[in-house]
Amino acid sequence: MTTTEATQPSAAPTTAAGDARGRVAELHAIRAQAVAGPSERATEAQHAKGKLTARERIELLLDPGSFQEVEQLRRHRAVGFGLEAKKPYTDGVITGWGTVEGRTVFVYAHDFRIFGGALGEAHATKIHKIMDMAIAAGAPLVSLNDGAGARIQEGVSALAGYGGIFQRNTKASGVIPQISVMLGPCAGGAAYSPALTDFVFMVRETSQMFITGPDVVRAVTGEEITQNGLGGADVHAETSGVCHFAYDDEETCIAEVRYLLSLLPQNNREMPPDVVGDDPADRRSDVLLELVPVDGSRPYDMREVIQELVDDGEFMEVHERWAANVIVALARLDGRVVGIVANQPRVLAGVLDIEASEKAARFVQMCDAFNIPLITLLDVPGFLPGVDQEHNGIIRHGAKLLYAYCNATVPRVSLILRKAYGGAYIVMDSQSIGADLTYAWPTNEIAVMGAEGAANVVFRRQIAEADDPETMRERMVKEYKSELMHPYYAAERGLVDDVIDPADTRDVLIRALAVLRTKHADLPARKHGNPPI
């Protein structure tokens, strides 16, 4: 239960006798009251916490003057616990639609000044309505979350309201983009709605998400922890992976939501919006020859490679701080949106592990749902070995990425920069699992495993019986490399479509995606698949 002010008068408006002008004047007065909110004191309290009001947030998100509110005059009908004396307009949530860069977006925003943004029956019904409208209209839905959970005074009716939200989140999944922006507390069952959406944004210090709060944790386990330590933005951006983007202030956060929307289609029946840019499609990138060392043991930053390839060096990295050994990002090539999945040699040598597999799999599924072509940049030495990885299900989690790629029907182009070893090579959108076009640089090494490990297995007896085992091992390593790991071995066997000059990579990728733009692929008739979870 929240004690936040909600002091708008509970009595029904008294319609003064008179002409239509009087009625209209009364309407404007009621609307002004609804827009102003419960009290100036409540607004000041919100600002004192470093938070904007719900309407201020909507103004930042949408194009100026475009917001059309729905059910502004809605009030709850609950009684008991003093609720009948507090019946503010909007019931603590503002719903409607507007535009972002001229394209329709639906939005709902919790108003923390009214019942702490807690969800009651009328509050939930408003959200259900706007979600249904977004699905029917085929337009993105953005939720600006700043609520204290279920309105305890309304009992189970409030909990049922959450059920309706979850059901609609699931119905909309893969149909329209759903973006959750966490701008305050989100506790208990309320946290599951953001978890069901495509992207979660958080603001440091002011937003938290957890199922059970610090008090419950302390009572049950004896652990002492703060709200931010338990479920703050940095925790979810770095440790849990619940949060895709974390920012220091609301203004920056909401500006980035607008940018993300510019990279997404309105729904699963449309393509992402194209733009006309100044970056030449055939621009050579000779610097790539220096960025990526030939020596497979030397690290480099894959982000620098991506910057060289995409339009104007701009890309939006998703889950930047979680599972950093793989990069997933949205960018443009020749003005067209692409999704990029890439190993990051700077972190754990770019291996795949449990978290990296989950991160990449979810991103691949999102891109496939919203018609975003996929580019995969490989430099992967394998899956991360270890007892913890095996016991925690690397087989099952790695299979999530395999399933996501195999199930994807969007254009898929893969590029092998250096290492592509073992099962990780197959999983990272190899030609054998359905990549439409596969390219490689002359520095590529595609093999079951590294030459040293392979020589120790294949030539174990010769090495053991040699007078000088170390010299024999070196000789066998060179022989294995020359026979099975030279740059053209895979091309000679049709496992890659071409070996290309790294400087021409941008042009090659753009041409490949252009020819695949009209790709059509049908999956077998089925209710749905049964992916590993």
Q: What would the DSSP string read from start to end of 463-506?
A: HHHSSSHHHHHHHHHHHHHHHH-STTHHHHTTSSSEE--GGGHH
Distance CA 168, CA 143 (A): 13
Nearest Cα neighbor of 103 from 148, 145, 138, 52 is: 138
pLDDT(4) > 60: no
Helix or strand or coil: residue 199?
strand
Q: Would you say 124 and 169 are in contact if contact means Cβ atoms under 8 Å apart? A: no
Is the CB of residue 158 less than 8 Å from the CB of residue 152?
yes
Mean pLDDT of the chain: 90
- Active-site residues, by number, are 188-189, 423-424
> How far, in Å, are 111, 262, 398 from residue 255 at the CA level?
20, 11, 34
Distance (Å, rounded) from C-alpha 191 to C-alpha 171? 18
| Half-sphere exposure in the Cβ direction for 449 (13 Å, CA) | 9
Identify the pLDDT of residue 9.
52
- What pLDDT, on a 0 to 100 scale, did the predictor assign at position 264? 98
Q: Encode pLDDT of 341-352 as tens digits.
A: 999 999 999 999
Q: Say if residues 98 and 127 touch (Cβ distance below 8 Å).
A: no
Write down the pTM of the prediction.
0.91
Task: For residue range 57-99, list pLDDT tens digits in order.
Answer: 999 999 999 999 999 888 877 777 767 778 788 888 999 999 9
Q: CB of 338 within 8 A of CB of 373?
A: yes
Q: Are strands 412-421 and 374-380 parallel, antiparallel or unpaired?
A: parallel
pLDDT the model gives residue 451:
62
pLDDT of residue 6: 52
Identify any residues that bridge with 119 across adjacent strands, giving them in sequence order: 150
What pLDDT shows up at residue 456?
67
How would residue 461 be classed by pLDDT, with cut points 50, 70 and 90? confident
Q: For 304-313, 433-442, 451-460, which range has the lowest pLDDT when averaged over its residues?
A: 451-460
* pLDDT for res 517: 94
3-state secondary structure of 439: strand
Q: What is the pLDDT of residue 12?
A: 54
Q: CA separation (Å) from 461 to 51, 456, 477, 478?
A: 70, 9, 14, 17
Tell me which of 39-43, 332-336, 363-367, 430-434 is least confident: 39-43
Whether residue 8 has pLDDT greater than 80: no
Residue 487 scores a pLDDT above 50: yes
